[in-house]
Chains A and B, each alone.
Chain A
């Protein structure tokens, strides 16, 4: 399995689930640990906290791109995302990779399971 070599965050920073539902849709849920700092908030010493947020997120199904997301600072801390795929089967591999504005990145893979 391919793992991004720039990974600064381990897999524990991302939680994923991909479940094939009875209607044939696969529902993928992703939870990422990330501060999502806007760059407008001040710390206890009245200093601006620099912006630090996920800018890009890509999801693939068996290596084929299914979702490309661009995010701004308006996504909540510890980003949460659900999306749906048609045509996925049990055992197919869903991968999600994110990149933030400071060059950090992480990737997680998960197999589709029956709901």
Chain B
């Protein structure tokens, strides 16, 4: 190998390194806030562990509005309300998705424990909503039949 091509290789490696740094830096800046382990967990109970949930109390005061049947799993609109006083956080999970944790919301300064959003469902599954109130956790589930999967 000529010295010239060695230099070029070194230069390219350096360039790749700089690019990697530029890409990684903003991600690191928020890594502390985004709960990577919980979002990448592939089992429902692992997600609970990573969210530090020990005991979950089933509560009908968590209301999950979602279609009984979803034609297209790529877009399933859900409306979630927690009528439990002093609800601090709300997590939305889909048990049979490749990664069950979909979203985690923290409410403050007058925000109501109410969310409408659209989620992906890989197949027919329970949707679980997990709510934090002080050091207690409450949950409720709703099953949605998915006719066409949407986890592309």
CA distance A40 to B107 in the complex (A): 31
Q: Name the contact of B151 in the complex, choosing from A25, A38, A75 (C-beta under 8 A).
A: A38
CA distance A83 to B82 in the complex (A): 12
Say yes or no for B94: interface residue by CB 8 A criterion: yes
Q: Name the contact of A66 in the complex, choosing from B98, B108, B116, B119 (C-beta under 8 A).
A: B108
Say yes or no for A17: interface residue by CB 8 A criterion: no
A72-B23 contact, Cβ under 8 Å, with A38-B152, A84-B111: no
- Residues of chain B with a CB closer than 8 A to A76's CB: 74-76, 117-120, 150
Complex interface residues of chain A between 96 and 115 (CB less than 8 A to chain B): 99, 101-103, 105
In the bound complex, do residue B110 and residue A40 qualify as a contact, i.e. CB atoms below 8 Å apart? Answer: no
- Residues of chain B with a CB closer than 8 A to A83's CB: 105, 111-112, 114-116
- Residues of chain A with a CB closer than 8 A to B74's CB: 76-77
Count of CB-CB pairs between chains A and B under 8 Å: 121
- Residues of chain A with a CB closer than 8 A to B77's CB: 80
- Residues of chain A with a CB closer than 8 A to B75's CB: 76-77
Say yes or no for A18: interface residue by CB 8 A criterion: no
In the bound complex, do residue A88 and residue B110 qualify as a contact, i.e. CB atoms below 8 Å apart? Answer: yes
CA distance A71 to B109 in the complex (A): 21
* Interface residues on chain B, number (Cβ under 8 Å): 40
User: Does more than half of chain A's interface fall in helix, strand or loop, or is it mixed?
Assistant: strand
Complex interface residues of chain A between 34 and 49 (CB less than 8 A to chain B): 38, 40-41
- Residues of chain A with a CB closer than 8 A to B27's CB: 101-103
In the bound complex, do residue B23 and residue A85 qualify as a contact, i.e. CB atoms below 8 Å apart? Answer: no
Complex interface residues of chain A between 56 and 83 (CB less than 8 A to chain B): 56, 59, 61, 64-77, 79-83
- A86's nearest neighbour on chain B, judged by CB, is B110
CA distance A61 to B99 in the complex (A): 32
Q: Name the contact of A40 in the complex, choosing from B98, B105, B111 (C-beta under 8 A).
A: B98
Report A68 CB to chain B, min CB distance, Å.
4
Interface residues of chain B, those whose CB is within 8 Å of chain A, are 23, 25-27, 30, 33-35, 39, 74-77, 79, 94, 97-99, 101-112, 114-120, 150-152
